[in-house]
Amino acid sequence: MTDPNPPELSIVVIAHNMRQQAMNTLYSLSARYQRDIAASRYEVIVVENDSADMLDEAEVLALGDNFIYQRRQETGTSPAAAINAGLALCRAPRLGLMIDGARMLSPRALQLAVEALADKDALVVVPAYYLTEQGRDGGDPEAVLQHERQLLEQLDWRKNGYRLFQHACFSNGNRHGYLDPIMECTALFMQAQRLRTAGGADERFNLRGGGALNLHLYRKLATEIEGEIYILPGEGNFHQFHGGTSTTPGDERDRLVRAFKTQLDEFWPGGFKAVSREPLLYGPVTQHALPFLQRSAQSAEIRMKRFAERGESPWPDDKDKQDKT
């Protein structure tokens, strides 16, 4: 039966074994925090695989009537099936996907994503950051967790989420910023039907944490769409340390990364590459986000000069797409 009053946007958030970090993320998606968008315009679908550190369903639902919670028993270690379960619950024509529930959004990300999706075959990317360099590079887990807890208290981020930029750094997947080719997108918005047409999340990505599912899914979608890729330079999604796959220390992380890369390359003849499509910037940039726009532009300028000297296109995926049409 067709829903007579569907929301404009459905956001699917996957959580596992990260209660405090996931609650911070969910608060950052609530209408108490997000600006210029009413709760009635969007829904937040939280899908959580069983773990030792579960969310409290009552606390989740208390964030707003637009929050939906689903608990799942999962024998594997990948979020792929949980993503597809969340996708099946979506009522809105537009979809936001956050595979890692430890990522907090800045305050206008939802409204700007909805605006940009007026381009009906576009993707909207919220740039990815780590909350701190310690959280990105790892170290003693308890020390990093304590450091980030104290930092969040000091920033009083619930009153102004743009303060999260103050100690942030670019994520490992996009160290040179968002004007260079993007390898990974951890807060991605699109038409919901686009992901359904693509087959949802590929459940063959069955390694710990989904392995390189995030990278595969972004490249697959970005190279198939006819529309633009919009970057929100004034917004961000901020990863909190939680002892997950990407911040596993030392030799274990190296082993995992090698396994992820091997599996990912099996899906892409010639090996996986970052998405080389020219992005469009959308939305205002606050003083907090401005230094990251500057760093992105400086890195992009160096890259553009290098390609110009070689007489090559800096955006080969755009060229490939044009050649096919």
Q: What's the pLDDT score for residue 63?
A: 99
State residue 324's pLDDT score.
44
Backbone angles phi and psi of 229, in degrees to 5: -110, 115
Where would I find the beta strands (DSSP E) of the chain?
A: 9-15, 42-49, 67-72, 94-98, 103-105, 123-125, 128-130, 169-170, 188-191, 229-231, 237-239, 280-281
Q: What is the pLDDT of residues 91-123, one digit of tens each?
A: 999 999 999 999 999 999 999 999 999 999 999
pLDDT higher than 50, residue 325:
no
- The whole-number pLDDT of residue 75 equals 84
Q: What is the pLDDT of residues 275-290, one digit of tens each?
A: 999 999 999 999 999 9
3-state secondary structure of 149: helix
Bigger pLDDT: 249 vs 145: 145
Phi, psi (degrees; rounded to nearest 5) at 8: -80, -30
Alpha carbon distance 99, 181 (integer Å) = 21
Question: What's the CA gap between 211 and 22, in Å, rounded?
Answer: 20
pLDDT per residue over 258-314, tens digit each?
999 999 999 999 999 999 999 999 999 999 999 999 999 999 999 999 999 999 999
Q: Quick one: three-class SS letters along 177-199?
A: CCCCCECCCCCEEEEHHHHHHCC
Overall average pLDDT of the 129-141 stretch: 82
The confidence score (pLDDT) of residue 31 equals 98
Is residue 320 over pLDDT 60? Answer: no
Flag the least confident range among 7-11, 131-135, 259-263. 131-135
- pLDDT reading at 82 higher than 90: yes
What's the alpha-carbon Rg for the chain, to the nearest Å? Answer: 19
* Closest C-alpha to 21, from 3, 58, 46: 46
pLDDT in tens, 237-252: 999 998 765 555 567 7
Closest CA to 152 of 170, 164, 143, 140: 164
Q: How confident is the model at residue 76 (pLDDT cuts 50, 70, 90)?
A: confident
* Global pTM exceeds 0.85: yes
What average pLDDT does range 132-136 have in this prediction?
Answer: 80
Residue 57 reports pLDDT greater than 50: yes
**Region 216-225: what's the mean pLDDT?**
96
DSSP 162: G
Instruction: Decide if pLDDT at 322 tops 60.
Output: no
Q: What is the mean pLDDT of the chain?
A: 93
Average pLDDT value for residue range 67-77:
93
Hey, what domains does the chain have and what are their CATH numbers? Answer: 9-324 (3.90.550.10)
Report the pLDDT value the prediction gives residue 287, as an integer from 0 to 100: 97
Binning pLDDT at 50, 70 and 90, where does residue 319 land? low
Nearest to 50 by CA among 68, 70, 72, 69: 72
